[in-house]
């Protein structure tokens, strides 16, 4: 029988890619659903990425997406696969429940909380060669895609159907965080510790909301160990 706590803690020593972060959050989900098979979740992510690559086979690699037309082409088909076909982030008001922070269930159509939608997006975007990162904001979790060739960053909200965040919208969000802050300071990639801190916080809040209070000690203990290992 898999010890999912040990597996989660072991995953924290190797978080170089979103693929690795997916492994970490799946180990958290398996504390509730020990029957969860991470390989099936990765297969779901790969299936979505494969559909995108089939639409733009000449663009879907890190080398080609850095070309002058690459990012826009892949983004359009990624949007179609995740937000139109899968329905990611299409629900206007997601009930805080542990299922909504379970990446495996979100990929099967369960309405997801912002950070889960963000990781779903980043995990697929990484697989199709995009330079993508998360942005943790109060009440939201955005993602940004760098377009090196055009010196541009595209910001979108995966928790709200992939809505594009233009410069004005982003400045407004920045003012909501700190009205003295230069908005560009928020365009900093969320480190793995930030993702997991947000993930565990949402799990704790959702567990209280849903009555799954028997898991609160586990989330608290894992939060403490995460901070100790990642040093954040």
Among candidates 169, 163, 81, 173, which has minimal Cα distance to 123?
Answer: 81
Question: What pLDDT score does 68 carry?
Answer: 45
Coil/strand/helix, residue 44: helix
| Residues forming a β-bridge with 89 | none
Cα–Cα distance, 34 to 4 (Å, whole number)? 8
Predicted pLDDT of residue 149: 78
**Tens place of pLDDT for every residue, the chain, 232 residues?**
889 999 999 999 989 999 999 999 999 999 999 999 999 999 999 999 999 988 886 655 555 555 545 788 899 999 999 999 999 998 777 889 999 999 999 999 999 999 999 999 999 999 999 999 999 988 789 999 998 877 888 999 999 999 999 888 888 887 877 777 777 777 889 999 999 999 999 999 999 999 999 999 999 999 999 999 997 5
Residue from 17, 36, 19 nearest 28 by CA: 36
Contact 137, 177 (CB under 8 A): yes
Note the pLDDT of residue 125. 96
In the block, tokens 């954040």 appear at: 232
**Token pair 């892949």 is at which residue?**
74
DSSP-derived 3-state class of residue 135? strand
Question: Which tokens go with 37?
Answer: 């098979």
Residues 6+ apart with CB under 8 A from 176: 137, 138
Helices (H) and strands (E) in the chain, counts: 10, 4
Separation between Cα atoms, residue 116 and residue 119, nearest integer Å: 5
């Amino acid at each position: 029988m898999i010890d999912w706590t040990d597996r989660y803690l072991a995953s924290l020593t190797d978080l170089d890619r979103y693929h690795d972060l997916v492994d970490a959050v799946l180990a958290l989900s398996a504390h509730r659903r020990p029957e969860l098979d991470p390989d099936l979740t990765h297969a779901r992510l790969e299936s979505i990425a494969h559909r995108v690559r089939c639409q733009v086979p000449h663009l879907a690699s890190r080398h080609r997406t850095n070309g002058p037309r690459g990012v826009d082409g892949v983004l359009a088909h990624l949007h179609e696969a995740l937000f139109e076909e899968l329905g990611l982030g299409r629900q206007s008001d997601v009930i805080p429940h542990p299922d909504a922070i379970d990446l495996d269930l979100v990929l099967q159509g369960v309405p997801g909380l912002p950070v889960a939608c963000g990781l779903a997006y980043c995990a697929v975007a990484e697989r199709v060669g995009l330079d993508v990162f998360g942005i943790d904001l109060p009440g939201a979790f955005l993602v940004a895609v760098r377009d090196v060739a055009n010196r541009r960053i595209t910001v979108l909200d995966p928790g709200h159907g992939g809505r594009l965040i233009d410069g004005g919208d982003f400045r407004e969000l920045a003012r909501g965080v700190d009205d003295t802050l230069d908005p560009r300071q928020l365009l900093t990639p969320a480190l793995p510790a930030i993702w997991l801190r947000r993930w565990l916080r949402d799990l704790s809040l959702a567990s209280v909301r849903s009555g799954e209070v028997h898991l609160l000690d586990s989330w608290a203990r894992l939060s403490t160990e995460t901070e100790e290992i990642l040093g954040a």
